[in-house]
Structure 1
Amino acid sequence: MKHTGIDYEAVFQALPAAAALLTTDLMYADVNEAYLRASGRTRGQIVGRYMFEVFPDNPNDPAASGTRNLQASLLRVAATGERDAMALQRYDVEDPDRPGHWEERYWSPVNAPVVDADGRVALVLHRVEEVTELIRARGGRSGGDRTRALEAELYTRARELQEVNERLRRAHAREREVALSLQSAMLPAPGPLGRRGAVRYQPAVGSLNVCGDWYDLAELPGGRFAVAVGDVVGHGLTAAGVMGQLRSALSAAVRVADGPAAALDALGLYARSVDGAESTTVLQTVIDCDSRTVTYSSAGHPPPVLLHADGTVEFLDRATDPPLGARFEHVPRIQAEVAFSEGATLVLYTDGLIERRHEDIDIGLHRLADCLGRHGQADADTLADTLLAEMIPPGGNTDDTALVVVRL
């Protein structure tokens, strides 16, 4: 698009619909001419200022909720990267020529993310159509009484819809809180790793896409230890319940199985009897510090990363099979082994760390390798925090993320 010769700033200004570009903290970055006409403001009165400082709610209307509803929508778009078409809003506007005089106005807003090259939300596009005249025109020629009745009915319906949405939001928030508490109780502390390991879990932004990711740590005979990560398809309490069953089953299997592949074989057979376990991705590793080897097997999971002591980054992708339940018949899984030297670092993660909407997964893997190359010499805790800080968008991610860092 950079080489088309199109002047996109001119296109933005020529749009017939009122449009504004907002920063993620809701400061006006730019507005088009239609927005200035609709608002009755000049560019100098808007650009560079906080949106709701310019357009607050009508202080004379105790039921006014335009600011609260619009702010919630804009912040949700900035945090999740999801487009949001709002219900009809009554949002009165103060007459700039008559301070204290508020004009009753009705609007139909749509808010959409504008992402940067890294897939992070950089701006929010706020497009709004004023429907005040349409609502009044629907009253016909029978006079103002019919117009006011129609306005009141539409306003009431919009308020009812907003109340329903608010109840749903609160219910989802309660489910999120319970699911996160359940998950926190099931995920282990980094005991077997000691000071050389760090674990992190970062929930998704929003109330739905949480609680499908997990990690597990297990001490094995012979001074070995096992590290696993997994990702259940689904969200909320259902995903948390499935996650708990699969994590416990794999933790038991890896203690008695002959290697990671055999442990995933046992988990795959068990998963056939667990509703909601199909398509789960899992990675199991066994680390032997005496022989200095990592043995691994993957059921459709993103590859772990081995940062060698010399700074070389290696993705362990030589033992990848389909996710759990993806095959109609059971087929034994494969495993591979890689050697390491003292000072190496192993990183296991779930896809929330690397995947971005509308972005090829290789870009996220390259971003991870680059971050490890720059910060790989830090201790495990510092490296884990740095990975989350650099890899997760500033407004949070729409998928939860589990992360395990092990100094070898």
Structure 2
Amino acid sequence: MKIVILSLAIIINLYAANNSTAYQWDAFIQKAVEASFTIKQDEAQLSVEKSKIAQSTLWKNPTLEMSFDDGLENSIDYTYFEVSQQLPAWGENSSKKRAAEFSLDSAKYSKDSTLLKVQYQAASLFQRIYFLKKQVEMLDKQLRKIKDLQEKSKNREELGEISGFESSRIEILRQQVLMKKQSFQNRYIKSTFEAQSLLNVDSEVLILGDIVKADENKVETMTASLEKSPEYAKHEAMLQATKQELALVKATRYALPELYLYSERDLNPNNNIDSTYGFGFKLSLPLWNTQNSKIEMQNAKIQKSTIKTQEVLYKLKNRVSSYHKLYKNSSKQFEDYKKNLLDPSKIYYETSVLSFELGEISLLELLDAQTLYFQSQLEHQNLISQSYIYWLQLCKASSINLLKDN
């Protein structure tokens, strides 16, 4: 029976190994970028915007008009023929083209902005899995320590050195730690499922290596020039496109001229066919509608777009300032925690282990020291994780490309 169970365990482990893929930091983020449907949609939008530029300088198609009747020689024949062509207003096509070019720029910056969002979504998920994995490993280590202590306490209980009441406290602690480990494991598994969805893979996602932090000098450089942020540049390009749309409205506020050529055929008094040729132009008179309301609406759009652009830059500066302070404070916090709590609790626990071996302290005192130390380890990891989150947010606000600027 034992052989069968062992064989099944080996098969399950081999199956899991064959159906899992391990990713390091850069590979994980790159895979998320390649799998992103949103980025692919942005790439398709670029093709649309490029087509708009080609379309912007084209004239309208000419119009053909022909009339037929039987008034010439008792047979159906054409009596009127006209070709007309509407001409673009002065500066119309150039304004259209510039507006389309700025729209293309905006689409490019939008794609860059989406690229960064996907990168940071992946980085945040990698970071969460990374720290959950470390916390599960810490709890595993504590469970091993508890198991060792259970074996020692069992021997001492048989010798009458400790009571069964004290020994039962170990099992209670073991169950507490086990439940906490299961909670962290569930969060870890849930996060790996999210990773499968983000990376668009069916195999289990594992992570390797450490988190790679962006170069601090690069972050400081980007923080000082937030106008280069894709998010800000996108809105600035949209603002410029709106201004070109105003120029287009002004160029076309009056009627567009239309040239035409015509040929007309008719019977003269001698029953001969006379053909008349001519040309002319058509132009509506802007007496009632001078398009002033369109100009006012476009000016309002420019004002709205300007305010939005200013808002984006303000929020970027505010986020950079906030996350910079939070990162500095959290970094100092976990360093102080290590110095004032983690290191002393470690020394206290190691000393308690020796004292218990020498019979100087009780089992309950040792359990308290062990619990204090491992709780301090978990809390220290939480503080480090929070610091990394703030650092990641600072990099995101500074528009750091995690694949290029590391």
TM-score of the superposed pair, with normalisation by structure 1:
0.25
Structure with max Cα Rg: 2
Q: Which structure has more strand as a fraction of its residues?
A: 1
TM-score of the superposed pair, with normalisation by structure 2:
0.25
Q: Which has the higher contact order (CA 8 A, sep 6+)?
A: 2
Q: Which structure has more helix as a fraction of its residues?
A: 2
